[in-house]
């Protein structure tokens, strides 16, 4: 059914917006709202791209990202990190942890779509 993106985000309005944008572009979108078991969810889903919120209940997005990068099965999964904290140090930290791209909230729909397309290789 086309390319698959997994959105790990706990804010329902953001999940709905991202899901709508990507589904209109032909993506199969799965969502998950808790950090505690996000690594296992990502392993099972084997998505083409992960959109990961930096601040989640249960486990931070940075901790999830570090776990993904440390696991041979998930280390190559492209990750777009989202955060409400758009400080340069947050971007630097996310990049050091292995984020492929970074967007601050609020974000433009076109930026999400362009980032996910680029991470998926086109």
Is residue 55 classed exposed, middle or buried when 0-12, 13-18 and 19+ CB atoms within 10 A define those classes? middle
Bridge pairing between strands 49-53 and 28-32: unpaired
Single pTM value for the model? 0.95
The chain-wide mean pLDDT, for the chain, equals 94
- Going along the chain from its start, the domains and CATH numbers come out as 4-119 (3.40.50.2300)
Over residues 6-18, the mean pLDDT reads 97
**Two tokens at 46?**
């084997």
Q: How confident is the model at residue 122 (pLDDT cuts 50, 70, 90)?
A: low
Specify the pLDDT at position 66.
Answer: 97
């Amino acid at each position: 059914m086309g390319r698959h993106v997994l959105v790990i985000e706990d804010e329902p309005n953001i999940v709905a917006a991202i899901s709508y944008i990507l589904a209109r572009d032909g993506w199969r979108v799965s969502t998950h709202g808790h950090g505690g078991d996000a690594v296992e969810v990502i392993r099972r889903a084997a998505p083409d791209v992960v959109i990961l919120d930096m601040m989640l209940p249960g486990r931070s997005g940075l901790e999830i990202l570090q776990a993904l990068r440390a696991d041979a099965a998930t280390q190559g999964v492209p990750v777009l990190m989202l955060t409400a904290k758009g400080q340069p140090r947050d971007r630097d930290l996310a990049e050091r942890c292995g984020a492929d791209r970074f967007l601050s909230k609020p974000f433009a729909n076109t930026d999400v779509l362009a980032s996910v397309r680029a991470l998926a290789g086109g």
